[in-house]
Amino acid sequence: MSYTINAETRTNIGKGSSRRLRHAGKVPAVIYGPGKEPVSIMFEHKAIVNIQLNDDFYTTDLTIVIDGKEVIVRTKAIQRHAFKQMVEHIDFMFV
């Protein structure tokens, strides 16, 4: 099964800006990998909340559309809220 997530690049990085994003219903994330510059992104929480419950979300390649450009990634780490069903941050790796 393939997943496609629409994302935007983000320029404000840090704890305060990430909190503001989460409060606005968005999820901060980062894409990194060997030989490439890290890319900070954000996407809607509702776009990820259901698909991250599937097991193949963590084992298959995902397509992230960043400002019209497709990037193939794999989920590396995900941080969830302690008791709410919310995703707080996701780390992706370039494939």
Domain coordinates of the chain in residue numbers?
A: 3-94
Q: What is the residue type of 85?
A: Q
User: What is the spatial distance between Cα 94 and Cα 12, in angstroms, rounded to a whole number?
Assistant: 22
pLDDT band at 2 (very low <50, low <70, confident <90, very high): confident
DSSP strand pairing (3-9 vs 87-94): unpaired
Q: What is the 3-state secondary structure (H, E, C) of 25-91?
A: CEEEEEEEECCEEEEEEEEEHHHHCCHHHCHHHCCCCEEEEECCEEEEEEEEEEEECCCCCCEEEEE
User: What is the spatial distance between Cα 54 and Cα 33, in angstroms, rounded to a whole number?
Assistant: 24
In CATH, 3-94 is 2.40.240.10: yes
Other C-beta atoms closer than 10 Å to the C-beta of 15 total: 7
Give tens-digit pLDDT for 17-47: 999 999 999 999 999 999 999 999 999 999 8
Give tens-digit pLDDT for 45-72: 998 988 988 888 999 999 999 989 999 9
